Amino acid sequence: MIRSNIERNHLEFEKKIEEILNYASNLVHGIPLYRRVQTSEKTLLLESLILRTCALGESFLENELVICAYSDQSKIKGVMNILQRGKLPKDLIRALIFSDRYRDLHDIQRIKSVFKRFTSDSFNPTSKISSTQTTKITFIYSMRNYLSHYSIFSRRALQERLIKNYQVIKFIEPGKFLLSNNGERFNDLISHFKFASINMRNYWR
């Protein structure tokens, strides 16, 4: 039951990511013919897809965290000082993790530490996320932050990542960056969400 819940959470997430990737790929390549859009619209749409992907990623990780903490409750009971012997319901687990304060699941290192705090070692698949996936997803989040706030701070953070990861010195708006090279950058970045999920899924095999 637990395994099938985990599997379903992953497959649903991977399917949604694949839909986004396919949609973007068709959009960039002008398919279908009658729905061709201008470059300026393409950049807008790709930027929106970044926000959507991040939202899906957070929702997926939130579910994963709850399922893992629910499956082996020893860690969370210890952390929360809960002495009750019986199994806690899943909704209560969710409430315990997320209701005391806002826990954002943006940064991979942070995600790993949240998982470590609430799940036992044998129920923590985040160790399977590769360093490349970590780098790419971290970059996506710096883009997402910029697109959500357009603040000077978020712009500077994105600029630093652009230099560090892509040696792009001059600031480039996310949509334009994602569209370059026939949308290959978008494809490369977003597909790492899917591959991270696959690696995590393989943890259970």
Partner 1 sequence: MLKKENRISFEDGFYSSANLQTIMGETYFKDILFLDYRDSEAGSNPREYTGLKKANNEIIRSLLKDPIQMFRFLHSGMIVSLTGLRITGNVIEFESCCLTNGNQTRFIILILVLLKLYAEKNDLTQLTPTLFNQFVKDEFKDDVEVSEFLKFVKPSKAKEIAKFLISNRKYLDNFNAISLNKFLHCKIRIQINVIENVIEGVDDLDEYSAGTLIAKANNETQNVKEDDIFGSTYKMDLEQSIFSDFIGNYGNEVKIEYRMGEIVTREPKVHILTLLRPIISTGILTRENEIFAYSNQRAPVYTLFQKLLRTKNGKAQSTIKAISKLVPFLYQIREDHVVNRLKVLRSAKDRELKAKALSNELSHTTLSGKLKIVSGEPTEDSLKALRKVTSYNIEHILPVFIYRIRSIIDYDEQHQKIFLNVETGKDETLFQSLLEAIYTNYVEIKLKGVTGSITDEIRSKDFFGSGEEAFIVLKNLLKFNQSDYIEKNRYIISK
Residues near 50 by beta carbon (within 8 Å), at least 6 away in sequence = 140, 143, 144, 147, 174, 178, 190
Question: Where does this chain touch partner 1 (CB under 8 A) — which range of 42-50, 98-106, 149-157, 196-204?
Answer: 196-204
Q: Is 164 helix (H, G, I), strand (E, B) or coil?
A: helix
Tell me: does residue 19 bind partner 1 (CB under 8 A): no
Q: Which helix (H) or strand (E) holds 15?
A: helix 2-28
Our finding on whether 128 is near partner 1 (CB under 8 A) is yes
Residue with smaller CB distance to partner 1, 134 or 145: 134
Q: Helix crossing, 184-203 with 131-149: angle to 10°?
A: 130
Binding pattern to partner 1, positions 57-96, x when CB under 8 A?
A: ----------------------------------------
Q: Is 31 in the site for partner 1 (CB under 8 A)?
A: yes
State yes or no: residue 131 binds partner 1 (CB under 8 A).
Answer: yes
Residues 6+ apart with CB under 8 A from 160: 142
Stretch that binds partner 1, among 3-11, 29-37, 87-95, 162-170 (CB under 8 A): 29-37
User: What does the buried/exposed string (b/e) look like for 7-21 if buried means 16 or more CB atoms within 10 Å of the residue's CB?
Assistant: eebbeebbebbeebb
> By CB under 8 A, which span of 60-68, 75-83, 128-136, 167-175 interacts with partner 1?
128-136
* Cα distances (angstroms) measured from residue 105 to each of 18, 108, 109, 186: 21, 7, 9, 21
Q: Which residues bind partner 1 (CB under 8 A)?
A: 14, 18, 21-22, 25-26, 29-34, 128-133, 182, 187, 191, 194-195, 198-199, 201-202, 205
